[in-house]
Structure 1
């Protein structure tokens, strides 16, 4: 085992008349050394970083446990960066190495010397946090301008070569067709996340960075606002989720997509808890209609994915059927004896709240609903131009409504700050909020439940 020694470190970037030479530094440091020592010197190297040959060799000796004490003429001989010195001190402390600075007159073997190091460590931590805050502020500022914040582009998108209004933006790839299909399979066809993933994998469509799809990858596509045409409905949805919406309601025109950024725990799904996240309108056009996007969001919020039980086959109406007697949902189950799909009332089987036994054929209900949907789609296509104008007018009215809501909230806050006895004000606010929720926030389902009667 090699014998341990004290280390003297000396550095001089340029030979100047008013700068102490390396030889002079070493002579002053020898006073603080007893017994065996080795000298590590870097000539012509700056202290702005730690990538210096002799210093790297010194750190290797420290990590190997061969150094008992490190002596230098001045702190800036080690590093001019408090942040770098903080990291170096952690290395010294971890390996039980004492540190002595001749010029600053402190020695970590004494209480005063250790106190001085702790003060330096506080400033090092402050520098770390300041740098992190600057990076974070710059990151959020890019997002507020509609720029893609960085990292890999979402599935179906790529980072555009040309910038939009001077900011980094996205553009669709051929895979955007798969993105549209995922939304349609989940919202229109009523598939579960697992079934959507299975369908795509069976068709040989690769996911991002892997050959097959799973529920998580499908979930992330459905939750990402980078695809949606952000209109006033999107503003309302994310505002109600507690997000900080940077743009004003009138900016949600339905032309551009959205971006969400925010801190999340390592064990959380990306979009599980979005409160305190920031939503901003992106600089690239949206791809998915807001109605289709919101159908998926409400369904994901309710977590009503259909579970597989055995090898049963489920109807595309699963989750939409309700009993006319008790109002509970009807389950579409496979009868293993007859091989037919049957309806089971959850109010009867789970809660014993219904006596009605359903004998309707699932195939007949599907045919009836399919005809109704086709008729509705035909009428919608025939009135497409008229409906487009109506939608634009409705979107403008919704944007105006949300602006009024924000003004009311700001007014209530201002009133609360100027009132000493807040009890009466609280009662008024509660009644106002109650009326507001009843009149404006009670959302109708995007697809109305079908009531089955015998």
Structure 2
């Protein structure tokens, strides 16, 4: 069919009415057309009922040609028109504009559309470049990207580099933030336990909403709180983020902002790849050791969720048959839970005749895990500042970069140059080893995540998190249960 589309703006009456537009378009028709008209709608976008109805007909392959009085009846945005034109081409629909005198069934008409498309691409690239430049300028100054302030901070207007800017300042809730990080990193509790505790204490959440797992997780993931040092730099580099600042700037004082677009409603921290991260104008609150301990725990929990199992036992994925080494899966029998060897049931590789009670295995494993936690708690901990080797770590990063550059240049070097470059690489590698030995001489690892309550009294999620953090596997059989720690 042939479709006529007409539109009249809501805020500015056109010199030609919708009826007048339709009448002119009819003169281009070789058959009776179907009319789609939007009265009182702006051309700033394509979100119009009659237009959308027409485009659905295009997608169904029902429209052979669309005729409009003027190009801007489709949209005043060249970019929007480009998207519409792509769809018309995909479904073999021709396009005619009466006023501009082009018809895509002719070579000249198609050429006109291609010219429009060139300008549309230029518009998109110009906008993208402008946004990118704006991002980098704001990131360079460390200003707040905008939106509601993170919990524990307020937005303050100030002047940075001679320009007005928004920065974050701690407020009365920052102590709650510190408590959240400390509890999650070192008390062995779950997100839900922390949320329940805050609700019990009568502490209001973000936007005066109640606390839940999601709100706690967002706080723990947010680098706006961390005192960013070299360890934090390495962590986010491994995550695939684009680091705006050089590692020299990660002195353990300033915090970080993550810049980057994401789908509306998507978790900002779920996929960090290719997002930009930059140091802030405000000082961090949480030391890097505590912050990274939380990130490792969160990362571990995310991996557990991907397995899609674990609702019956906090030992999910860890329990192995002591005879064949295959995983033990949970089965229901007469209202009780048992472990059954997958090597026997699925692969017929094991002759084990036993089934182990899930609760009995859990109780024995819990006792061994508690003993390990007691050992970790009693182990002497060296009271070393978090950033004691930050300068050495920064130097290691620089040496890594120098070695990579030299290796890249080796391919284009002659024999003499290669000899000197190899000597330089050897010297750099020797210095790197010295620095790493110095860093590792005094322990700078995070202190063990030992809960402040007995392991048996922890909730399901907390037990699961600690078990997967400490345990390599659990060997279970009729005679014994043995926990193998990492």
With the shorter chain as reference, the TM-score category is 0.5 to 0.7
* 1:145 pairs with 2:138: no
- Aligned-partner SS, 2:224: helix
Name 1:445's counterpart in structure 2: 445
Q: Equivalent of 2:175, from 177, 188, 193?
A: 177
Q: Is the 8 A contact 2:68 2:96 kept in 1?
A: yes
Determine the C-alpha separation between the residues in 2 that align with 1:204 and 1:305. 32
Q: Equivalent of 1:134, from 130, 136, 159?
A: 130
| Structure 1 residues 57 and 264: CA distance shift in structure 2, 3 A | closer
Q: What is the number of equivalent residue pairs in this alignment?
A: 383
Q: Is the 8 A contact 1:9 1:72 kept in 2?
A: no
Q: Equivalent of 2:206, from 196, 202, 208?
A: 208
User: Following TM superposition, by how much is the alpha carbon of 1:185 offset from its aligned partner in structure 2, in angstroms?
Assistant: 0.9
Deviations 1:322-366 (A, max 9, x none): xxxxxxxxxxxxx999xx9985447xxxxxxxxxxx9x799xx59
Q: Equivalent of 1:413, from 405, 413, 416?
A: 405
Name 1:289's counterpart in structure 2: 287
Mapping of residues 4-23 of structure 1, within 5 Å: 6=4
Determine the C-alpha separation between the residues in 1 that align with 2:304 and 2:98. 72
Deviation larger for 266-275 or 32-41: 32-41
Determine the C-alpha separation between the residues in 2 that align with 1:246 and 1:10. 47
Q: Is the 8 A contact 2:2 2:64 kept in 1?
A: yes
Determine the C-alpha separation between the residues in 1 that align with 2:403 and 2:378. 48
Name 2:78's counterpart in structure 1: 82
User: Following TM superposition, by how much is the alpha carbon of 1:410 offset from its aligned partner in structure 2, in angstroms?
Assistant: 3.4
Q: Is the 8 A contact 1:63 1:95 kept in 2?
A: no
* 5+ long unaligned stretches in structure 1: 12-23, 42-48, 313-334, 347-357, 381-386
User: Following TM superposition, by how much is the alpha carbon of 1:283 offset from its aligned partner in structure 2, in angstroms?
Assistant: 1.1
Name 1:279's counterpart in structure 2: 277
Q: Is the 8 A contact 1:180 1:288 kept in 2?
A: yes
User: Following TM superposition, by how much is the alpha carbon of 1:275 offset from its aligned partner in structure 2, in angstroms?
Assistant: 4.2
Determine the C-alpha separation between the residues in 2 that align with 1:221 and 1:105. 58
Determine the C-alpha separation between the residues in 2 that align with 1:241 and 1:229. 18
User: Following TM superposition, by how much is the alpha carbon of 1:409 offset from its aligned partner in structure 2, in angstroms?
Assistant: 1.2
Determine the C-alpha separation between the residues in 2 that align with 1:336 and 1:226. 42
Determine the C-alpha separation between the residues in 2 that align with 1:264 and 1:79. 26
- Aligned-partner SS, 2:277: strand
User: Following TM superposition, by how much is the alpha carbon of 1:227 offset from its aligned partner in structure 2, in angstroms?
Assistant: 0.9
- Aligned-partner SS, 2:166: coil
Name 1:189's counterpart in structure 2: 187
| Structure 1 residues 403 and 118: CA distance shift in structure 2, 3 A | same
RMSD of equivalent CA atoms: 5.9
- Aligned-partner SS, 1:206: coil
* 5+ long unaligned stretches in structure 2: 10-19, 315-357, 451-469, 471-486
Q: Is the 8 A contact 1:249 1:399 kept in 2?
A: no
Name 2:151's counterpart in structure 1: 155
User: Following TM superposition, by how much is the alpha carbon of 1:444 offset from its aligned partner in structure 2, in angstroms?
Assistant: 4.8
Determine the C-alpha separation between the residues in 2 that align with 1:137 and 1:224. 24
Q: Is the 8 A contact 1:230 1:286 kept in 2?
A: yes
Determine the C-alpha separation between the residues in 1 that align with 2:115 and 2:224. 46
Determine the C-alpha separation between the residues in 2 that align with 1:9 and 1:267. 33
Determine the C-alpha separation between the residues in 2 that align with 1:5 and 1:127. 29
- Aligned-partner SS, 1:178: helix
Determine the C-alpha separation between the residues in 2 that align with 1:79 and 1:361. 68
Determine the C-alpha separation between the residues in 2 that align with 1:209 and 1:282. 23
Q: Is the 8 A contact 1:6 1:36 kept in 2?
A: no
Name 1:300's counterpart in structure 2: 298
Length-normalised TM-score, structure 2:
0.56
Name 2:217's counterpart in structure 1: 219
User: Following TM superposition, by how much is the alpha carbon of 1:230 offset from its aligned partner in structure 2, in angstroms?
Assistant: 2.4
Deviation larger for 224-233 or 82-91: 82-91
Determine the C-alpha separation between the residues in 2 that align with 1:79 and 1:311. 58
Structure of higher CA gyration radius: 1
Question: Of the two structures, which has the highest relative contact order with CA contacts closer than 8 Å and spacing of 6 or more?
Answer: 2
Q: Is the 8 A contact 1:82 1:124 kept in 2?
A: yes
Q: Is the 8 A contact 2:248 2:394 kept in 1?
A: no
Determine the C-alpha separation between the residues in 1 that align with 2:233 and 2:55. 55
- Aligned-partner SS, 1:230: coil
